[in-house]
Amino acid sequence: MQVCRVHLAFLGLVMVTAGVARAADDWGGWRDRITFTLIERARGESVDWFRPQPGTAPAGAQRYSFFGSRLRAGVTVTLPHLQIVLQGQDTRITNLPSDAVLPAPVGALGPGALYFLNTHETTQGEPFLKLGFVTFRRSGLSLTGGRFEYADGLETEPANATLAFLEHNRIAERLVGPVSYTHVSRSFDGARVAYDRPGWNFTAMAVHPTDGAFEVSANREIDDIGLAGVAFTLKQLPNAPPADARVFYLFYEDRRGTALKADNRPLAVRQADKAAITIHTVGADVVTVVDARPGAIDALLWGAVQTGQWGALDQAAWAYAAEAGYQLPRVAWSPWLRVGYDQSSGDDDPTDGRHGTFFQLLPTARLYALTPFFNLMNNADLFGQVILTPHRRILVRTDYHWLQLTERQDLWYSGTGATNEDVFGYSGLSSGGHRSLADLVDVSVSVEVLKSLPLNAYFGHTFGQSVVRTTFAGAGADYGYVELLVSY
């Protein structure tokens, strides 16, 4: 039924777009009002995940390579106070591993196994409506309705390049995002309103997420999950260096009775808990950059607290991030050194009627875990990174992460949020009573071959520690990919 509604909505938007296009043609300015886009992303991925215990999987099941293609085609009609956007997507993935999904609690061995977990097909693909929305704009007010992408933390776009980079890479999508890293991604069906002034911005939204992320059938809306929120952003603090400061509130409700919650309670208790998850998240963040010759210092603070209900349990959790950096834009390769500490609460007692694990809602977890075996749930991440620009078209980033669990009585969590009606979207493995999770070293390279032809490559090696060894026989893991984007 939901798919029918989406198709009917798509047909209606097509008819509206055609009518507006004809009207624009009559006005004589249609060539300036209609924009067509075509974007292809092709990526080959190689995985050598943590090696399972002997006898639990075929030999070498954790090692595999697969290929994914994501084609998006769209049209945008822009009028003085109205914009209509339609975009379709076709995703194709092949050579997925059929033997890398193990029985609980181990589950999927890496990203390729997650795609297989959702569809149980080694080759999969499907076209669907990615975007279909109408936006009305007038005097700073914008009203959007339909299917669109939403990323918390990107309600505004700073003019300062350093602030923009930090908001896109270290603030945005910690709690809500489109998971664009995956070959499917997710969208949101609903409404958004924003009022933007030179010094501040107010944004509110109410949506349902679509299927997606690792679920290739992404036309459907997850009706049993609701998300709403507001954010107020100051674009410039009085008598201060360039800065963005934001306060936000998010309400998340998950009424799916078929999706098993991931937490540290015994399996039988979790299976019996069919009550809804209703979580209130309140937070704030600020990012700034200050001249400090011969370079500049940047600083970032982000924090959030949660209350509400985790099924039958009371929710009480927190998370924060404190980061700083120093960059030398006038030195060769423009070196930028950054350090930070991100931590979230865990649950120290599965029997006390309280759920203390910070819940990440519907994030793009991979932005903060480039080898995606962890996320911001019961996690402490001390990291350092070096960003270099050896050429104006080349960006190199190297990271080191020292990862621990906040609470040894809780689980080692991973995941990026709900993917469909039945898959919860997060998994948790036993800590074995340990806190030391892993050390991760990785490098990312982005090359702008042409303006519309970026090439990206990534490789990360994980040195698993005592938490990883609780579940796996081999604690080392490698993950890498090469991707090419072509846009017209």
The predicted-structure confidence for 201-245, as pLDDT tens digits, reads as follows: 999 999 999 999 999 999 999 999 999 999 999 998 888 899 999
Which carries the bigger pLDDT value, residue 30 or residue 198?
Answer: 198
The predicted-structure confidence for 164-190, as pLDDT tens digits, reads as follows: 999 999 999 999 999 999 999 999 999
Query: CA-based angle 108:114:119, to the nearest 5?
Result: 120
State the pairing for strand pair 295-310/277-292: antiparallel
pLDDT at 427 over 90: yes
Domain residue extents for the chain: 2-30+69-487
Q: What is the pTM of this model?
A: 0.92
Give the H/E segment covering residue 112.
Answer: helix 111-119
State how far the Cα of 367 lies from the Cα of 399, in Å rounded to an integer. 12
State how far the Cα of 109 lies from the Cα of 95, in Å rounded to an integer. 15
Nearest to 186 by CA among 8, 416, 11: 416
Q: Does domain 2-30+69-487 have CATH number 2.40.160.100?
A: yes
Q: What is the mean pLDDT of residues 241-266?
A: 96
Q: What is the mean pLDDT of residues 265-282?
A: 97
Number of alpha carbons in the 13 Å side-chain half-sphere of residue 455: 6
pLDDT, mean over the chain: 93
Residue type, 205: M
Query: CA-based angle 272:365:441, to the nearest 5?
Result: 120
pLDDT at 372 over 50: yes
Q: What pLDDT, on the 0 to 100 scale, is given for residue 19?
A: 52
Q: What is the mean pLDDT of residues 75-91?
A: 96
pLDDT at 141 over 70: yes
State how far the Cα of 199 lies from the Cα of 450, in Å rounded to an integer. 35
Binning pLDDT at 50, 70 and 90, where does residue 7 land?
A: very low
- Concatenated DSSP letters for 392-443? TTEEEEEEEEEEEES-TTSEEEEE-S--SSS--SEEEEE-TT--EEEEEEEE
State how far the Cα of 172 lies from the Cα of 153, in Å rounded to an integer. 4
The predicted-structure confidence for 109-125, as pLDDT tens digits, reads as follows: 999 999 999 889 999 99
Q: Prior bond to 294 cis, omega within 30?
A: yes
Nearest to 368 by CA among 275, 440, 472, 280: 440
Helices (H) and strands (E) in the chain, counts: 6, 23
Q: What pLDDT, on the 0 to 100 scale, is given for residue 3?
A: 38
Rg of the chain over all Cα atoms, to the nearest angstrom = 23
